[in-house]
Amino acid sequence: MGELAVETVQLTKKYSGIAAVKDLNLKVPQGKIYGFLGPNGAGKTTTLRLITGLLKADAGKVFVQGKPMPESRLDVLAKTGALIEKPAHYEHLTARENLDIARRLYHVADTAAVDRALKAVGLEEAAGKKVKTFSLGMAQRLGIAYTLLHQPELLIYDEPTNGLDPVWIHKIRTLLKDWCTKYGTTIIISSHLLSEIGQLADEIGVISEGRLCYQGTVPGLIGKTECVIGIVTDDQIAAADLIRKEGVVIQWDDDNTLFVTGTPSRLQAVKKALKDKGIHILNETGKDSVDSLEEAYLSLMNNEASVS
């Protein structure tokens, strides 16, 4: 595995003695889009604040581009663009003036960087308007513009599509994908919009109650999500015997249907084994694989709720 853009090791943060983030080991690969998911209060914002050095951990470590945080904060933040929670603007100044202040803070000499950032988020025409007149979506897009000014190596977004309409959600998705491909930028993006993350992310990390429940690719999560199919065969007794031998969970119902629970690959293996034995499936209900990140995520959260 190549060098990680961000790594957390046993990261723990407590508020008033209660852990919001617990023993978290995130591994964000270099130059990829990493979707950071979890229910309300799971600890996503807290984690992003720890990664950017806005909060100090109670235990564990954070490394950004191999550098320890928060000790390397100045160095790391100079190469990071982050939008965590609501963007803060000078409301009485124009969009261009706001961005120009940020440009100078980032020590970007090229004044054209402001126009490029305005263009990227479609605010060229509104550049001369005071930010207090902006809609929620426009203010959010201006927040995204700040993060792009200095062509950072790492972009961190907490709910970046807040207040954006569907057209702008799509445009921002395209922008982030292009940025990642063109400049090799690593992007961490926390969102509740699972279809967005499904289309954007190369890898995802899912947390619940401050703990990691999954880290890997979206197909990887779909592949480990158990599904249930109901089958009726021409020899239910022989089918049940064979399925049990495959080590897959089965149940009968009153209608003589066999319900089989397993991951997509296990269910495929069961069907192949039945076929190889000459047992024919006469009727099949349910799905042997989930189709979307949303379904896989809901199943993961359901399992988390049943074990906690």
Q: What is the contact surface with ligand ATP in residues (CB under 6 A)?
A: 15, 20, 38, 40-46
Give the residue with the Cβ less far from ligand ATP, 73 or 192: 192
CA distance 22 to 63: 17
Give the residue with the Cβ less far from ligand ATP, 80 or 190: 190
Strands 67-69 and 59-64: antiparallel
Shortest reach from residue 20's CB to ligand ATP, in Å: 3
Give the residue with the Cβ less far from ligand ATP, 42 or 138: 42
Shortest reach from residue 183's CB to ligand ATP, in Å: 27
Give the residue with the Cβ less far from ligand ATP, 123 or 164: 164
DSSP assignment letter at 129: S
Give the residue with the Cβ less far from ligand ATP, 44 or 271: 44
Give the residue with the Cβ less far from ligand ATP, 40 or 283: 40
Closest to 238 in 3D by CA, of 279, 283, 186: 279
CA distance 143 to 263: 41
Phi, psi of 211 (to 5 degrees): -115, 150
Helical ranges in the chain per DSSP H: 44-51, 73-77, 95-105, 112-120, 136-148, 166-183, 194-200, 218-223, 236-245, 264-276, 293-307
Shortest reach from residue 91's CB to ligand ATP, in Å: 24
Closest to 199 in 3D by CA, of 306, 77, 293: 293
Give me the amino acid identity at 132: K
Shortest reach from residue 235's CB to ligand ATP, in Å: 50
Give the residue with the Cβ less far from ligand ATP, 42 or 243: 42
CA distance 204 to 37: 7
Phi, psi of 269 (to 5 degrees): -65, -40
| Cβ 84 vs Cβ 45: under 8 Å | yes
Shortest reach from residue 305's CB to ligand ATP, in Å: 16
How far, rounded to the nearest angstrom, does the alpha carbon of residue 190 sit from its chain's CA centroid?
5
Shortest reach from residue 32's CB to ligand ATP, in Å: 21
Shortest reach from residue 215's CB to ligand ATP, in Å: 16
Q: What are the tokens at 114? A: 């402001």
Give the residue with the Cβ less far from ligand ATP, 41 or 247: 41
CA distance 156 to 305: 28
Strands 33-37 and 203-208: parallel
